[in-house]
């Protein structure tokens, strides 16, 4: 099965449309979304509707839950909090109910998936260090996909004490090892590449391929300015940080 795994759209409709089209070209058979449909960008309801229509499994992210008051937004940085408050005002009743219904973690037959991490998925831990990665070891059966940090990375475990961080854009997975794999971000990449990022997981071949997709960044920035979203959030899209 060819799975498209994507996350962190953050109300960026132009990026989402470009990525969905690229998934068609890549021959994706199933689509798995790892959370954060909303927050930061100008089109929350449109992104919710489009993802609902096109995606087989949809998880909640911390921004999705914060926008409906299901998780505390007080630890968000001021820009993120402003955007979450703006988002909450825009959501239709239908969008709100949908976001409330989502869960932040799922175990599927061929892999696990979480927004933040398989360790306490609704506490939204970041996996930023190798130590963070090792804390997740026991919670991974084989392969677990995550989002949240907006930074694509493959973490390969040799055992419970040793993990390697791989920056490969294509990787054949070792059947004898466990993996924690971050899919990057569609709507707000932070690895200094402004193109949207997602991945294709071919479960029969055991391969992971990252794909980068350009989209109309200027158009999103114009819309964000019209909505008076924070300047910092508008600027960062152009540089991917």
Q: Which residue, 40 or 98, is less far from Zn ion as judged by CB?
A: 40
Binding map of Zn ion across residues 144-163, x = CB under 5 A, - = no contact: --------------------
Q: Least CB distance from residue 61 to Zn ion, whole Å? A: 6
Residue of 123, 43, 112, 28 whose CA lies nearest to 83:
43
Q: What is the token pair recorded at 73?
A: 């937004």
Interface size with Zn ion, residues (CB under 5 A): 2
Binding map of Zn ion across residues 13-42, x = CB under 5 A, - = no contact: -----------------------x------
Residue of 122, 223, 118 whose CA lies nearest to 179:
118
Q: Which residue, 14 or 36, is less far from Zn ion as judged by CB?
A: 36
Decide: helix, strand or coil at residue 61. coil
C-alpha dist (Å) from residue 205 to 114, 129, 139: 22, 29, 24
Residue of 237, 212, 210, 211 whose CA lies nearest to 153:
210
Residue of 77, 78, 90, 8 whose CA lies nearest to 44:
90
Q: Which residue, 45 or 149, is less far from Zn ion as judged by CB?
A: 149
Among the listed residues 3, 8, 95, 220, the single contact to Zn ion using CB under 5 A: 8
User: Is the CB of residue 65 less than 8 Å from the CB of residue 16?
Assistant: no
Q: Which residue, 103 or 141, is less far from Zn ion as judged by CB?
A: 103
Decide: helix, strand or coil at residue 85. helix
Binding map of Zn ion across residues 50-79, x = CB under 5 A, - = no contact: ------------------------------
Determine the interface stretch with Zn ion among 7-15, 46-54, 155-163, 224-232 (rule: CB under 5 A).
7-15
Q: Least CB distance from residue 148 to Zn ion, whole Å? A: 6
Q: Least CB distance from residue 201 to Zn ion, whole Å? A: 20
Q: How far apart are CA 208 and CA 229, in angstroms?
A: 35
Strand partners, 197: 212
Alpha helices in 91-123 (DSSP H): 93-101
Q: Least CB distance from residue 38 to Zn ion, whole Å? A: 10
Q: How far apart are CA 111 and CA 53, in angstroms?
A: 23
Determine the interface stretch with Zn ion among 5-13, 68-76, 130-138, 231-239 (rule: CB under 5 A).
5-13
Q: Which residue, 8 or 14, is less far from Zn ion as judged by CB?
A: 8
Q: Least CB distance from residue 172 to Zn ion, whole Å? A: 28
Report the interface residues with Zn ion, using CB under 5 A. Answer: 8, 36
């Amino acid at each position: 099965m060819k799975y498209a795994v994507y996350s962190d759209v953050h109300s960026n409709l132009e990026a989402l449309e470009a990525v969905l089209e690229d998934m068609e070209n890549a021959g994706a058979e199933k689509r798995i979304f790892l959370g954060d449909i909303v927050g930061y960008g100008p089109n929350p309801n449109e992104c919710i509707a489009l993802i609902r229509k096109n995606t087989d499994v949809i998880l909640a992210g911390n921004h999705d839950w914060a926008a409906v008051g299901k998780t505390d937004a007080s630890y968000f940085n001021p820009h993120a909090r402003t955007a979450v408050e703006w988002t909450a005002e825009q959501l239709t009743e239908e969008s709100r109910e949908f976001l409330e219904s989502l869960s932040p973690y799922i175990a599927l037959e061929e892999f696990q998936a979480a927004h933040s991490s398989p360790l306490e998925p609704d506490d939204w831990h970041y996996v930023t260090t190798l130590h963070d990665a090792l804390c997740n070891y026991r919670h991974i059966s084989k392969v677990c996909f995550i989002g949240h940090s907006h930074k694509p990375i493959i973490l390969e475990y040799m055992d419970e004490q040793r993990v390697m961080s791989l920056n490969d854009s294509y990787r054949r997975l070792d059947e004898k090892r466990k993996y924690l794999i971050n899919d990057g971000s569609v709507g707000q990449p932070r690895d200094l590449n402004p193109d949207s990022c997602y991945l294709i997981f071919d479960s029969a071949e055991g391969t992971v391929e990252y794909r980068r997709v350009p989209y109309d960044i200027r158009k999103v920035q114009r819309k964000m300015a019209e909505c008076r979203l924070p300047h910092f959030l508008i600027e960062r899209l152009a540089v991917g940080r």
